[in-house]
């Protein structure tokens, strides 16, 4: 049974990567959505109008993921963050963030697998996604490490402030923008700091890539806009009139996303941070 599951898993992944590449090509061949039309007509957030924001109440389930928490805070996912089907998560992140259907299947399926549930029939609570060293990992930008703060549901506002202050770029309207080098530098500093403060700190290639991937959504779907990232990372709330900055017809494919994730991770240089701290 175990081997059959593994073989099926390999086939599913190969299928998803081939599908993703096709969508990548289709995005080049088809016109993008017009501004203001990215979120589909029947979905929450259509025409730049998001359902009301209500902060989590005691007993609500929240995860280490700011964007999924925001969806629950706006009632796009159940406000209590509980009993969500993996299939519904797929549909909702597709509609809300214009991620390609490949990503929207791949990540919830990955989550179902690490929770030992069925993607097709089972449900989860948001807090369960924070299982340590599944996707959640040490050295993240918006949460202290799980060994220090076991409840990963709330952002660490000090860390978020440090991240937002790294922005050196400028948006078209003159407001601050987080760039690829800014994000690499923020990740470098955070990994060095986490290693110092958490005696149980762990790091591997796989989780570093997860870290770069999670945070690269800030550059792609949010265009690095500090004005949009501030409410999202501090209150886990969509800014007024927000819509995904990726307007491709078939959404942000994994292939295209890698064009941001790889330079972000390659730009991480923890040695230069340690050296600079030594000289200071
Ligand atoms: C498909 C379902 C998703 C799952 C299961 C998921 C899960 C997670 C988890 C477990 C973390 C914590 C990682 C850490 O330790 O830093 C995380 C962080 C994050 N995720 Fe998600 N996520 C999902 C979708 C998304 C989407 C659609 C976006 C963007 C639109 C997003 C953006 C982020 C960001 C920005 C972080 C914070 C990274 C940091 O603190 O360094 N996630 N996610």
pLDDT in tens, 227-263: 999 999 999 999 999 999 999 999 999 999 999 999 9
Q: What's the CA gap between 129 and 151, in Å, rounded? A: 12
In ligand 1, the atom with minimum distance to the C-alpha of 107 is: 1
C-beta of residue 147 within 8 angstroms of C-beta of residue 203: no
Where does residue 75 fall: left (phi above 0), alpha (psi -120 to 50 degrees), or beta otherwise?
left
pLDDT over 70 percentage in the chain:
100
Distance 8 CA to ligand 1 centre (A): 26
C-beta of residue 142 within 8 angstroms of C-beta of residue 234: no
Confidence of residue 215 (pLDDT cuts 50, 70, 90): very high
Evaluate if residue 157 carries a pLDDT over 60.
yes
pLDDT over 90 percentage in the chain:
96
Distance 140 CA to ligand 1 centre (A): 10
Distance 89 CA to ligand 1 centre (A): 13
CATH class of 2-279: mainly alpha
Evaluate if residue 39 carries a pLDDT over 90.
yes
Evaluate if residue 163 carries a pLDDT over 80.
yes
Spans of all domains in the chain: 2-279
For the Cβ of 111 lying below 6 angstroms from any atom of ligand 1, the answer is yes
In ligand 1, the atom with minimum distance to the C-alpha of 111 is: 5
Confidence of residue 4 (pLDDT cuts 50, 70, 90): confident
Evaluate if residue 3 carries a pLDDT over 90.
no
The closest of 151, 4, 166, 25 to 143, measured between CA atoms, is 151
């Amino acid at each position: 049974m175990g081997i059959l599951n593994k073989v099926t898993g390999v086939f599913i992944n190969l299928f998803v990567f081939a599908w993703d590449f096709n969508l990548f090509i289709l995005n080049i061949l088809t016109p993008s959505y017009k501004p203001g039309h990215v979120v589909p007509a029947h979905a929450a957030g259509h025409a730049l109008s998001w359902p009301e924001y209500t902060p989590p109440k005691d007993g609500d389930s929240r995860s280490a993921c700011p964007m999924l928490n925001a969806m629950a805070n706006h009632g796009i996912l159940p406000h209590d963050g509980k009993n969500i089907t993996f299939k519904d998560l797929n549909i909702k992140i597709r509609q809300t963030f214009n991620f390609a259907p490949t990503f929207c299947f791949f990540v919830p399926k990955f989550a179902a697998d690490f929770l030992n549930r069925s993607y097709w029939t089972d449900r989860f609570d948001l807090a369960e996604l924070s299982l340590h060293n599944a996707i959640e990992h040490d050295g993240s930008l918006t949460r202290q490490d799980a060994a220090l703060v076991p409840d990963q549901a709330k952002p660490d506002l000090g860390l978020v402030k440090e991240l937002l202050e790294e922005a050196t770029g400028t948006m078209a309207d003159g407001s601050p923008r987080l760039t690829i080098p800014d994000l690499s530098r923020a990740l470098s500093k955070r990994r060095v700091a986490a290693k110092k403060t958490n005696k149980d700190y762990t790091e591997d290639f796989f989780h570093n890539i997860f870290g770069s991937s999670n945070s690269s959504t800030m550059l792609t779907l949010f265009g690095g806009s500090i004005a949009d990232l501030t409410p999202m990372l501090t209150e886990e709330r969509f800014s007024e009139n927000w819509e995904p900055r990726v307007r491709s017809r078939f959404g942000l494919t994994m292939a295209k996303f890698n064009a941001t994730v790889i330079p972000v991770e390659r730009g991480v240089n923890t040695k230069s941070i340690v050296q600079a701290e030594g000289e200071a």
